[in-house]
Copies of this chain bind each other. A is one copy, B any other.
Amino acid sequence: MSADPRPTTRGPLALIAGGGDYPLQLARSLTGSGERPYIAALEGATDPAAFGAEADVATYRLGQLGGLLDELRRRGIADIVMLGALPRPSFGALRPEVSTLKYLPHFAKAFQGGDDHLLRGVVRFFETQGFRVHGPAEIAPGMAAPQGALGRRQASPEQRAALERGFSLLDALSPFDVGQAAILADHRVVAIEAAEGTDAMIRRVADLVARGRLKIGKGDGFLVKSPKAGQDLRVDMPAIGPDTLRNIAEAGLSGIGLRAGAVLVGDRATLGQQADALRLFVEGFP
């Protein structure tokens, strides 16, 4: 194959695709560079038709892991990338087919812990089965936050100082396996994300402003987002998207600081245009 211009040691690729727009963007990026990945669309999470008529796509339930591995081996595929939201686990989706049963003991331990533990277990499983797991940013570097601004606006030196404080806060939280995002405003930290997720945290700040509990001046108010130390960016990369920018603008905040190369932003040009339209800066920092 491969008119792929990027230096790579990998062979043909399988994309295990969950929900959301990012698996579609990743597939387009690969197609754009002349690859035709084998796409395993997870049933209930993504529509296989969305990958286009030309795509080499099949649908799998989670319980069909055995069948998927058999198919990958038959095709000589040893390189995998996984991206997108998993389907809500249902007994139907999990019901293992016969070829999957033998793999279940591998997962018994992985399920006895938090999300990180589970994801690390999944990577380890594929590796013990002889596959290489690649991160989406490694396969399509253009989908990760670059260094610098996505649109026309840039953080001022003062705003940048607040963002640096935010990144330091996220670093300090890292050992506690929490805190991929925080919001700074009014010269202080006003929200820290834990189990509720980034969008709920942004709405909370909007609500504090609406109830007069928090004042955000013009040019004030920033989201910072960064992976935790040791987070496996191959299977668990933080991400922002058009909804994030819309929520940030609705909350009256001014911008977003991202750890460059470590947060998915999808299509940079589109997001940069949206940032300009909403008068936000969206900027990656080393």
Residues of chain A having any CB pair with chain B under 8 Å: 113-114, 165, 168-169, 172-173, 175-179, 182-183, 186-196, 200, 204-205, 208, 213-214
Q: List 6 additional contacts besides A165-B176, A172-B176; criterion CB under 8 Å.
A: A113-B187, A114-B188, A176-B189, A177-B188, A189-B195, A192-B192
- How many copies the complex holds: the figure is 2
Contact A169 B176 (CB under 8 A): yes
Contacts of A196 in B (CB 8 A): 191, 204, 208, 213
Q: How far is the CA of A242 from the CA of B169 in the complex (A)?
A: 32
Q: A85 vs B231: C-alpha distance in the bound complex, in angstroms?
A: 42
Q: Are B191 and A194 in contact (CB under 8 A)?
A: yes
> Which single residue of chain B is at the shortest CB-CB distance from A190?
B195
CB-defined A-B contacts under 8 Å, sample of 28: A114-B186, A114-B188, A165-B176, A169-B178, A172-B173, A172-B175, A172-B176, A173-B173, A176-B189, A177-B189, A178-B189, A179-B189, A179-B192, A188-B195, A189-B195, A190-B194, A190-B195, A191-B194, A191-B195, A191-B196, A192-B192, A192-B194, A195-B208, A195-B213, A195-B214, A196-B213, A200-B204, A204-B204
A136 to B24, CA, bound (A): 60
For the complex, what is the distance from the CA of A23 to the CA of B54, rounded to whole Å? 73
Closest residue on chain B to residue A185 by CB atoms: B195
B178 touches A188 (CB 8 A): yes
Contacting residue for A172 out of B172, B195, B200, CB 8 A? B172
Q: Within the assembled complex, what's the spacing in Å between the Cα atoms of A167 and B134?
A: 37
Contact partners of A177 in chain B: CB under 8 A: 188-189
Return chain B residues, CB-CB under 8 Å to A193. Answer: 192
* Complexed CA–CA distance, A176 and B214 (Å): 18
A178 to B170, CA, bound (A): 12
What B residues does A188 contact at CB under 8 A? 114, 177-178, 195
- With a cutoff of 8 Å between Cβ atoms, the chain B residues found around residue A175 in the complex are 172
CA distance A253 to B165 in the complex (A): 32
Cβ distance A250 to chain B, nearest Cβ, rounded Å: 18
